Each structure stands twice: as structure tokens, then as C-alpha cells.
Amino acid sequence: MNSLNQKVSFHDFQPELESLREAVFEGLSHKQKQIPPKFFYNETGSALFEKILEQPEYYIPNKERELLRQYSDEFAKLIEPDAVLIEPGSGSCEKVQLLLESLLPHAYVPMDISSDFLMQSAYSMSRKFPWLNIYAVCLDFTQEMILPHVVPQDRRIVFIPGSSLGNFDPLEIPLFLCSIHRLVGKGGGLLVGIDRKKDHSILNAAYNDEAGITAAFNLNLLDRINNEIDGTFNPDNFEHYAYYNDQLGRIEMHLVSLADQHVSISGRSFRFQKGETIHTENSYKYRPEEFVNLAYSGGFKHHKTWSDNEDYFSIYFFEAI
Ligand code: AVI
């Protein structure tokens, strides 16, 4: 544990580099090659993701911000002051800032896989909210989440904005929610933002922005493999591909091989045929009733849903039962 100043502490449970190598070897051995999306988020990937959030086609941040501003007093009534607010995948901690002055939590626990980014964000939060106790935890939130014991015992609320849960397979969501349940305990809360099913052209545009930022974010995975585990990918030989799969209710992101080619990673050779893809991300979209049912199977009772006037995006509050 490192103390950055009196109100901020840093707790490092970052996964080891080996897990990238293992995941890539494992993922590339499947018939449909794949790499888990959590590996997007090295320092460059996290910075590119912040740029995605500014793209006009990517409507999620604006819709969600609008809801967080409009309903923060309603959230505060449900959450009450002096809670411990935990944010898995906190990134730049931008959204939570819209809530803090209304919620007045006792402590904030940002959790992120990218330690440098987490530390920068925690510093910046402590400058903006000097009254707030911050316990920054570096971990992979898709694994069991650990809270350092210095975190106070007040009512715990998990905040997951940005439709991050959309990147989970729906079959894994109840299990993940069970781990959140263990973190918050019975009576704890879950405030979560989830993207909705809608016109396909809007969804497809959101993941194929004109400025090419989502493409760069996707292709950065190849640079990361080259730099960190000795890969020989030529990113010019791959192309970003994202489309809405209506049957499965999800955006799929892939990297398409533009040629027959061999790539070596840590001395091991992988063959790619022209047109073959590496599946890098799914982003599921939910109707409110679909998501409420999923949350229930993870041990959370629905309290309320707030949606924007175009029904693009919803925020839900659940209580652990
Ligand atoms: C983090 N997650 C919710 C984003 C999404 O919309 O699925 C990741 C993303 N990938 C491409 N653009 C945004």
C-alpha cells in the first residue's frame, strides 16, 4: 500500500504480465481466434478509450451524463450519505464526479487494471474533492474483487457506468453480480448504466467512428502484444471490423487479417488466413426487462430505471437481497 497523500491510498493487485501471454496463446488457439477485451487497456489503450468517449457517434457518454445530472438527487435519496462508493473499471473517474456532491459518500474506491492511469485519476480526484477519502485499487475486475481492509465498513454501493457490463457474456453476468454481492453484502446497492437495443445504424456508427479512433483502439492490441510479449504483428496487415449481430443482440469487434500470414509471439508461430478474424470484443445491448431479469439471477432486486427521452440508454438501481 502506498499513501499518495492523507486522503488517497493506492493498493496494487495488478495481474502479472504472464496473464497477457497466456490469454493470447489460449485465445489464438481457438478455431475462432479471440483475445479478451480487458487487454485493450494498457496506457495507450486507456487513452484511446477516453478519445472514443468524445466521438460524436459514440452516444453513450452524453446520454449517460444527461441522466446522471438530471437524476442525481433521486440517486442520493436511494443511496444516502456516508456510503462507500466502489467503481470497478473507473478509468478517468469522470462520471462519478457528477454524483459526488449529491451522494456525499464517506469514501470512494476506484478500481482499474491500468495502474498508472488509476494513480493519475486518483490524484486528480483528490485535488478536485479534497474532502473525499480515496482508496485506489489496481486489479482486474473480471476476477474476484478484493477490498483492502482499511476501507470503511459503511453501506457499500457499486457504481458501474458506461455500459461496461455490456462487455460481459450474459451467461457470466449473474456470476459477476454474485461477486459484487459479496463485496457490498445484503442491503448494499448497485447503480449501473446499460446501453439499450436500438436502430442498427446508430449502433454500427457508434463502433465505426469516422475519425478512426475505435479502429486505433482495436489495433492497439497488436502493438501491445508486439511490445509486451515479443510479437511480430504488422498492424497494417489487419483491419478493424465492428458490426451489430442482431441475433445475439451485440456489437462484435474483430481484427481482420488482410493477407495469409504468419505471426510469431514469444517464439511461437500463429497462422492467419486472409479474411480470418480475431474476435476482440462483444458489447451486448439490453431491453430493460432483459437486464432486470439478469440482475435478479445475480441476487439484485430492481428498484428503479431512468432512461433518456430517445430510449438509447438506461440507468438502474438495484439492492442486494
Ligand atoms: C467499455 N465498453 C462499455 C465499451 C463498449 O461500448 O462496449 C468499449 C468500447 N469498445 C469500442 N468502443 C467502446
Whether residue 83 has its Cβ less than 6 Å from ligand 1:
no
pLDDT at position 13, please?
87
* Short-list 164, 6, 141, 148, CA closest to 84: 148
Whether residue 167 has its Cβ less than 6 Å from ligand 1:
yes
3-state secondary structure of 296: helix
Which residue is closest in CA terms to ligand 1's atom 7? Answer: 283
Rounded alpha-carbon distances, angstroms, from residue 303 to 75, 199, 320: 11, 27, 11
* Short-list 88, 34, 25, 43, CA closest to 217: 43
pLDDT at position 19, please?
85
CA 6 – ligand 1 centroid, Å: 34
Average pLDDT across each block of 10 residues of the chain; the chain has 321 residues. List them in order.
70 78 97 95 90 98 98 96 96 94 97 89 95 95 88 96 96 96 96 98 98 98 97 98 98 98 98 98 98 97 98 98 97
Q: List, for residues 203-227, the tens digit of each pLDDT value.
A: 999 999 999 999 999 999 999 999 9
Q: Which atom of ligand 1 is nearest to the CA of 164?
A: 3
CA 7 – ligand 1 centroid, Å: 31
pLDDT at position 43, please?
84
Whether residue 162 has its Cβ less than 6 Å from ligand 1:
yes
Q: How many CA atoms lie within 13 A of 80 on its CB side?
A: 6
Mutate which of 142, 219, 280, 283 for ligand 1 pocket (most atoms within 8 A of beta carbon): 283
Q: What is the pTM of this model?
A: 0.94
